[in-house]
Each structure stands twice: as C-alpha cells, then as structure tokens.
Amino acid sequence: MPLFSSLRRFLLPCLLIAALPAVPCLAQQTIPLPSPRPNTLPPPGIMPAPPAELPATARAGKGPALLDPAGPTVSMQTSEAMFDLAVALNACGYDNGLNESDPIRQTIRGEVNQAAQSSEAARDDRDKLCLYIDQHKLDDPARNLAQYVSLAVYLTPPPMLTPSVHEQDLPPDANGVLLVLPLVRKFAQDIDLHVIWLENRPAYDAIAEKLHGPLSQMIVSTNYYLKMPASISTGRRFLVVIEPMLSPEDTNARVYGSNYVVVASPKNGAIAMQMVRHVYLHYEIEPLLYSRQNDMIRMQPILKTVDYAPLPFNFKNDIVALVVESMIRAIEARIMNTGVPIVKVPAGLPRSQAEPYEIAHNESLQKAEEVREAAVEHSMAQGFVITRYFYTQLTAFEKTPQSLSEAIGPMVYGMDVDAIVHAARNIAFDPHWEGEMLAHASPRPQGLDVAELRLMKGDVAGATALAQKAIEDHSGEPGRAEFILARADLMSNQVGQAVAAFHKTVTESKDQRLVAWSHIYLGRIYDVEDQRQQALAEYKAALESRDGQPDTLAAAQSGLKKPFALPPQAQSESAAPPKEPSATPQPQ
C-alpha cells in the first residue's frame, strides 16, 4: 500500500481511536434512546479519544454472567439469578427498606412463605440456608448485602445457578459466600421458586418499562453535558439491574474490570438516579483519565495534603483515583438540580418593565450558584481537593464546542499542582467519611483480558507481548489476539502491521463483531490513503458480517456515505512541518 507521510502516520492512530455516535439501549430488548439535538453535540464523525474508547472486542474469557458480550453497551435488565439470591435473603430476615419497597416485594415474600409452610423439607432447607447466612453476616449491613449481590452478578440462570468463572476468579467478597449456592438451589427447588418468578415476571417487566424513560433521559442528558456520544467500546458495559426484593436504600454499585454494574430497587416507581448517574460518570470518565495516568505522576504531592482527610485508603494512595472522583464531583455540582427555580424574563417587554424580572433572574441564578458552591465545598472538605479546580475548568468548558474527551487533556496537563497543594493546606476536613458510592471488585484477569486492560491504560508494549504470547502458546482466541495487536500497532504508528493484523482477525476470528470492526478499521485506513474503492469494499464487508449492533451499522453506513476524513484540527496541523512522533502518542 502507498506509504504515508510521517505526519499522516502520526495522526492516523489518533483518528482511528475514536468514539462514534451510538445509540445506547435499555431494557432486555434493544430500545433506542432519543438522540441529543445534533447542533449541540460534535457532528457524527470521529472524535479523538483515549485507547479505552476503541471499539474493542468483548472479553473472550468469561466474566459476569449478567453481561452479554454481544449486547448493548448500556442496558437495563432483570435477573432471575439475582431474584433467587434476593428471595433467599428475604426468607432469612432481610427486612431492610420493606415499608418503602415496591408492593411486589411483599407479594413475593407471602408466596415464598406460603410455599415453605406447605413443605417440611422446604422449612428444613430454609433453616439450613438461614443458618449459613447468619454465620456469614458482616457487621456493615451494606457490605453484608454486597457480597451476595456480587455473587449473583456472576451466576448463570437457575436451575444451574453456578458461577460463570472459576472460583479463584470471583471477586473476593463473592468468594466468601460461595457455599450458599447449594443451599439456595435446594430451597428454590423445594418451593418451586422458578414458578414464582414466572408468575411475577410481568410485574418486574412493568417496573423496568416504567424506569426506562427516566434512565434514558439521565444517559442522554449526561452525554449532552459532556458533549460526548455514548461509549461504543464492546469491551466495556454499563448495566443497571432492577431487583425489587432488595431495599431501595441499598443501591449497590460495582466495577468488575471494565464493566460497571448498578443493582437498584424502586421506591415509589423511581430508583436512586443520582447514584446511577455517579456510576455512569465513572464509566465514561475513568478511561479518559486512566489513559493519562503517566502524566499524573507530577501530581503526587497532592496526596500528602489529604493525610488527615476522612478518605479511604485508595484515595490517599492513588492520585488517579483522587483525580477521577474530584472531576466527577465537580461535574455533578455543575449539573445538579439545585432546587432553585430560575426566574425567566418575559420576551418583548419594554426596558422599564423588564428590569424587575432581570433583577429577580440574576438573584435566582446567584442562589443556584450558591447551592453548587456548597456542594463543591463539601467535596473539598471530604478530601477531594481537586474538585474546585475542575469546577472552574468545567465552567469554561461549557462555553466551548469541545467535548470532554477533547478538553480533558488540557485540564490534566495544565493543572497548577503547587496552587492546589497550597489551597488544600487551608481546608478544614470533615471528621467523618460520608461513604463510598462505588466499589471496584478485583477478579483476577488473565491472558488476553490482561492485554485488553493494558491496552486500555496505554501500555502498548505490555499488551503486545501478552497478545503475541497467546498466539505462540495457543492460550487465547487467535482472532482476538490479532485484534489487540492491530490496535496496538495503530497506537504505535505501525499502520502497515496494523493492516496485516486486521486482515488476520478477519480470517481467524469467529467473533462477528471483531470481524466487522476489523473491516471498518481497514476502510478508514484506505480512506485516509485515498483508496476509496478498497474502503467501500471494507465497509460493505462490515455490513455483511451480520454483527447487527447499532454502532457497527452506524460506522459502516457512515463510511459508505462519505470517506473517512481527518478532523479539522488535524487537517490544520497537516500544513505544519512534521514532528518526530512520540513512542505512544496520546490523543488530545
């Protein structure tokens, strides 16, 4: 193929590492979300993004059973496995939030109790189940529930109800209650729990359908503020599981590798949407910041200022975690519902009549800002001492057309660490920690899973070595390994090698999603090389791969309509003299 100029070689990886506008889907069936207004978000095209935002393969190694590798990246569903565990807890004294729960919880509890009373074997097995749960009860009620929720996420559907991974790969808290499963299976068999599930499934579906609209609105409004389309990375999932048998006050949020799961229960027809949005912000922002973790080494002095803050250990010892949470809290302060009604100035009024409205309007804006400022100060007092910096940066960000994925680089690189350290020394920290909203589970990734994670964090050499090892010793799916190598080659400016690896993915992979995206990448490369006919052939091949996901169709159809092109910023830079590319260029 024709040789690229050194500059175009440098730019191409940044352009192919892109987030395309996608349609996130909710509920068990794929339901399109309304699109944000097109004139307020970046146009349908290529937005530079960090490596984690690549349309990557789903993890070939088995992960949480609730997560469908071929499903939508953002979804909401119910789970019979979660239901079975929740019923077991309810049968053994879990009454948290009972009065605030949806009426279906009391209904199911009554049916389970009636079934148990009619069978001596069921009563005996329930006693054994409850004894186990009591013996494994933790002092912290939230952690006590979390261990069973964490286990349920990894369970295959009844009647098997077995972990989808090896025991050593389960999160540690789930591993601690693994032996509850045979007791749950026996009790479920005794009372015909599957029948109870089927009888109440329509009520569960009705709850999910009612929650679909508010959840969709939260996703769209959040991406609207970030000026970013929803993530389409096939290696990452954001899942909301609805389980009315749990307390509405016990919303449980977990991160399993690159997958984000929220388990929530409705109260008066609504779930804790603020909590769900907090986790969704982690899902969108963590890859943007972790891909720049090497640039945050200079921020280490900030950690010394939070020694006496009520923060958990991880925030005091991981600067990236502190930066992530500080940015998320700043975003939440900017988009929060302050509860202050903003007075509007009627149109067409004479100046003399409009003046009182303008005064009232400005006063209402000031009161709303005071509420947001109080939220920032609270976060700072908790120990998230970079919140004020990001809050100020976001105020300026809102006035620009840039997406957060484009603006986040300058925010990180331009941070005045000395100024933040100086300001942090004057903070009076709160005496008590308000509680962590999100827990990162730590299953042990292996092989190509580790390669994916390293690629996500920008460790091209590490990802390449693991993928090559998987090919050499036949320890991983070869098509997936080639797909990792191809993306790593792009990030290293080795376009010719990337093309060869994408072609190998097409011939060796049995995963139609990998095949489709390999064709799309090849089409983009040929477009940049002005080989339009070859590019068209690749986009058509992507459509013929029968992947069928909305992001795949959108990317392929976009390529057929018009050639892939460098974004305006890159085009303007093409007139400048070529610079020697760095070993691992970071998209800005």
503 and 569 share a domain? yes
Q: How far apart are CA 74 and CA 30, in angstroms?
A: 10
Q: How far apart are CA 417 and CA 389, in angstroms?
A: 10
H or E stretch covering 281:
helix 273-290
β-strand partners of 238:
74, 260
466 and 524 share a domain? yes
407 and 502 share a domain? no
327 and 366 share a domain? yes
Domain-embedded: residue 254: no
Domain C-terminal end among 436, 458, 477: 436
SS3 338: coil
The whole-number pLDDT of residue 581 equals 32
464 and 428 share a domain? no
472 and 429 share a domain? no
418 and 370 share a domain? yes
Q: How far apart are CA 383 and CA 305, in angstroms?
A: 9
The whole-number pLDDT of residue 56 equals 33
Domain-embedded: residue 457: yes
Q: What is the CATH number of the domain that holds 461?
A: 1.25.40.10
Domain-embedded: residue 544: yes
Q: Tell me whether residue 580 is exposed, middle or buried, using C-beta atoms within 10 angstroms of its C-beta: 0 to 12, 13 to 18, 19 or more.
A: exposed
Distance of CA 452 to the CA centre of its chain: 15
Q: Which residue has the tokens 């009972």?
A: 98
Q: Which segments of 386-491 are extended strands (E)?
A: 439-441
Please give the structure tokens belonging to residue 474.
């036949």
397 and 424 share a domain? yes
Please give the structure tokens belonging to residue 64.
């949480």
The whole-number pLDDT of residue 444 equals 52
CB-CB contact of 75 with 237 (8 Å): yes
Sign (positive/negative) of CA torsion 424, 457, 284, 251?
negative
Q: How far apart are CA 164 and CA 174, in angstroms?
A: 12
CB-CB contact of 471 with 481 (8 Å): yes
Domain-embedded: residue 277: no
Domain-embedded: residue 415: yes
The whole-number pLDDT of residue 572 equals 47
| DSSP characters over 199-263 | HHHHHHHHHHHHHHHHHHHHHHHHHHHHT-PPP--TT-EEEEEE-TTS-TT--EEEEETTEEEEE
User: Which one-letter amino acid corresponds to residue 101?
Assistant: S
β-strand partners of 256:
259, 441
432 and 456 share a domain? no
Domain-embedded: residue 65: no
462 and 333 share a domain? no
User: Which one-letter amino acid corresponds to residue 283?
Assistant: Y
SS3 409: helix
CB-CB contact of 11 with 583 (8 Å): no
Tally of domains in the chain: 2
Q: How far apart are CA 98 and CA 249, in angstroms?
A: 10
Domain C-terminal end among 436, 464, 497: 436
| DSSP characters over 362-406 | HHHHHHHHHHHHHHHHHHHHHT-TTHHHHHHHHHHHTTSS--HHH
Domain C-terminal end among 393, 416, 436: 436
The whole-number pLDDT of residue 440 equals 63
The whole-number pLDDT of residue 57 equals 32
User: Which one-letter amino acid corresponds to residue 163?
Assistant: P
Please give the structure tokens belonging to residue 201.
């499934």
320 and 405 share a domain? yes
Backbone phi and psi for residue 95, each to the nearest 5 degrees, phi listed first: -115, 10
- Mean pLDDT in order along the chain per 10 residues (588 residues): 36 39 31 30 28 33 76 92 98 96 97 96 97 93 93 95 89 92 97 97 96 96 91 75 96 88 96 95 92 89 95 92 97 96 92 91 96 97 98 96 93 96 96 77 66 79 91 86 92 91 91 88 92 94 79 86 72 41 31
Sign (positive/negative) of CA torsion 266, 69, 560, 502?
positive
Which residue range forms the structural domain that includes residue 359? 292-436
β-strand partners of 239:
75, 261
H or E stretch covering 75:
strand 74-77
Domain-embedded: residue 585: no
Please give the structure tokens belonging to residue 266.
């409705």
406 and 515 share a domain? no
The whole-number pLDDT of residue 474 equals 84
Domain-embedded: residue 476: yes
Q: Give how far Cα 385 sits from Cα of 160, 301, 329, Å.
A: 48, 12, 11
Taking phi first (over 0 means left), then psi (-120 to 50 degrees means alpha), and beta for anything else, what does residue 380 get? alpha
Taking phi first (over 0 means left), then psi (-120 to 50 degrees means alpha), and beta for anything else, what does residue 565 get? beta
The whole-number pLDDT of residue 441 equals 59
The whole-number pLDDT of residue 580 equals 34
Q: How much helix, strand and coil, in percent to the nearest 5, is found in the chain?
A: 55, 5, 35
